[in-house]
A and B are shown apart, each in its own frame.
Chain A
Amino acid sequence: MYGRGLRPLSLATAAAFTVALGLVFFYAPLEADQGFVQKIFYVHVPLAIVSLCGFVLGGLLAIQHLRTRDSRWDMRSYVAIHMSLILGVGTLITGSIWAKASWGHWWVWDEPTLVSFLIVFLLYATYQPLRFSIEDPERQSRYASVFAIAAGAFVPLNFAAVRMSTGYVHPRVLGDTSNLPGPMALTFLVSLLAMALLYATLCKYEMTAKHARGQVRALRRKLSGEVPAQGRSAAPRLSGPPALSGTPAPSAPAPLSPRPAGATATGSTTPAVGRPGG
């Protein structure tokens, strides 16, 4: 079920990227001040936006996990944050390149968006170590969700705080689509769409892979009757006997299976052992 739709999604992503790159190189006009280097804008900003949205999305999925106690939500939250972290690395690298090209420094502190992004990135960089150092998988997923919720709320707060601290040093011509000339805005929006599709595809791939791995493990366990040794991991697992903690039992409780001899014994005055009261 996880693999369904993967192919059309991948194709759509490839198509969107082709269109976006075509627009970036052949349609969007050269920016007057910065020239060709400004084109990195069409990669950097969509990367940053998608990555930040992914962090917040991870928090929302984590809320769902804590509410339902269904480990699939934890998996989704994990994948959302994991992929956002990867895009986040891309954001920092492209941002650095852009800063070097236009201001001559690899890093500029008076660009609040970049600085806030770094802080958010540093916070989320502890997500995996946090998961990794909690051994009980159930506690791991619960704590990770608490982290994801707090951190997800932190993302906008932090942006507001950093923005407040730096003031408006640089006129932010490029930060806002409404200020962009038409062709640039169109190119930017198509690039953003392509990046969002890429994010969705990557997430789907990771979830499919995790799900398949879990199923293979479950099958292997069924066949051999033993649990293959598995190292500790920061990633949640979908396999495992606690199918989904907290979800209702698959069906009405089966009639009580035969117990070992003496299982019907009880205290002298009460109904049979194992018979539920109701």
Chain B
Amino acid sequence: MTVLVMSDSASLTPALQLEDLERHYGERVALSDVSLSLPAGQTLVVFGPNGAGKTTLLRVLATLLRPHAGKVRLLGKELPREGWAVRGRIGLLGHAPLLYRELSAEENLRFHARLHGVGELRVAEVLKAVGMEGRSGEPVKMLSRGMLQRVAVARAVLHEPEVLLLDEPYANLDPAAREQVTGLIGAGSGCTRVVCSHDPSGGVAEADVVLGLREGRQVMLKLARDVREGDIAGLYR
């Protein structure tokens, strides 16, 4: 039994809407007053120095952290109340690969496939797509960081998410591997994407909207085509 969902139907309402989003860790403010909206299928690239709140933003969107104030609507569902409705439609690629070190790439992906109710065929398909079918039987602790990242990409797109949350997705990848995963997680993937980046030129190039964070606050929000040289560098100054 499957349920058909028209992903185009989301284009009337934005795929992602934030309104005065706030999140704290105790008294430390990790995010505050972040407001934006992103149409379905577009890419939001988030810039900001370390500790600016990029990872927190991704974790809030992934339903792993609850927002403390403000509104978050993802795919038309309000977080955290309707988090259950968007779980499984999100692909998260963070710093941690979310893979068990002792298990092989294939075993890890099979485990994730079962959690998401995805067929086993899909496991082989994504492994092939990231070019890891040759070493899919080794425990992932034996893999190099670049290969680990490729398996993590496969894991993130395994269940064909509609929203991709990517934290420096191309870290540790050589140009060839980067090319290979671009089809899965790049702008051509058809997903609504939120990408954290430290690469000004590459980041802006793949963005539709650019968000600048600093100490948890939204200091810049522009269409990618309006971003001027020095805008991004200014964030890190």
Contact = CB atoms under 8 A, between A and B. Distances in A.
A–B touch (CB < 8 A): the answer is yes
Contacts of B28: 227
Given A267-B39, A269-B39, A276 B71 contact: yes
Contacts of B73: 276-277
Highest count of chain B CB atoms <10 Å: which of A227, A239, A267, A271: A267
Contacts of A270: 14, 37, 39
A145 to B, nearest CB: 15
Interface string A161-203: 0000000000000000000000000000000000000000000
Contacts of A272: 37
Interface stretch (B52-60, B83-91, B215-223): B215-223
Contacts of A241: 22, 24, 27, 29
Interface of B: 11, 13-14, 17, 19-20, 22, 24-29, 33, 35-39, 42, 66, 68-71, 73, 208-209, 218-223, 226
Contacts, number: 89
A242 B68 contact: yes
Nearest to A140: B26
5 contacts: A136-B26, A240-B27, A266-B39, A267-B38, A271-B37
Given A259-B221, A262-B223, A270-B37, 8 more contacts: A136-B25, A237-B26, A253-B19, A253-B20, A273-B35, A274-B37, A276-B17, A277-B17
Interface in A89-129: none
Given A227-B27, A260-B219, A265-B226, A273 B66 contact: no
Contacts of B70: 249
B26 to A, nearest CB: 4
A30 B222 CA distance: 85
Nearest to B65: A138
A237 B37 CA distance: 34
B60 to A, nearest CB: 13
Nearest to B44: A267
Contacts of A267: 38-39, 42, 208-209, 223
Interface string A196-217: 0000000000000000000000
Interface string A233-245: 0000101111001
A266 B11 CA distance: 13
A29 interface: no
Interface in A6-43: none
B53 to A, nearest CB: 14
A259 B39 CA distance: 19
A256 interface: yes
Contacts of B221: 259-260, 262-263, 265, 273
Given A249-B69, A263-B221, A137 B37 contact: no
